[in-house]
């Protein structure tokens, strides 16, 4: 078994595990009884998606996908802190 094959199958397995985590977090996003549960689940969903993009970039050996993941985490942090502010105060910009 060459290193290339180990990488190929191993990273595919990582994709599968991350996809299951994504689905579980999305289930909480749908189910979550209150708004804060949904925001927390949304946080986990975008994090899992960013990690999927990182792993995909590794699989196709293109470091350009890392930038997409960076932008995604930045936007995710901004949106989840804006949603937390909204839940706290009732409006985002006062």
Partner 1 sequence: MAPAMPVWAAIIIVLLAIFGASLALVGAFGMLRFRSFYERVHPATLAATLGATSILAACVLYFSLVEGRLLLKALLPMIFIPLVNPVASMLLARAAMSRDYAKALAGQPAPGSEDAEWQRKASELAAARAEAARHTVDDEPPHEAST
Could you list the residues that contact partner 1 (CB under 8 A)? 1-4, 6-8, 10-11, 13-14, 17-18, 20-22, 24-25, 27-28, 31, 33-34, 36-37, 39-41, 43-44, 47-48, 50-51, 54-55, 57-59, 61, 63, 66-67, 69-70, 73-74, 77, 80-81, 83-85, 87-88
**Structural element, H or E, at residue 30:** helix 3-31
Q: How far apart are the first and last CA of the chain?
A: 60
CB of 2 to partner 1, least distance (A): 7
4-to-7, 13, 16, 56, 58 alpha-carbon distances in Å:
5, 14, 19, 15, 12
- From 45, 30, 54, 52, select the one nearest 79 (Cα to Cα): 45
């Amino acid at each position: 078994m060459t290193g290339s094959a180990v990488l190929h199958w191993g990273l595919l397995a990582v994709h599968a595990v991350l996809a299951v985590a994504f689905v579980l977090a999305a289930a909480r996003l749908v189910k979550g009884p209150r708004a804060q549960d949904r925001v927390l689940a949304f946080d986990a969903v975008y994090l899992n998606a960013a990690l999927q993009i990182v792993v995909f970039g590794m699989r196709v050996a293109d470091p350009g996908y890392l930038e997409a993941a960076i932008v995604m985490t930045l936007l995710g942090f901004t949106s989840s802190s804006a949603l937390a502010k909204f839940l706290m105060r009732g409006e985002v910009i006062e």
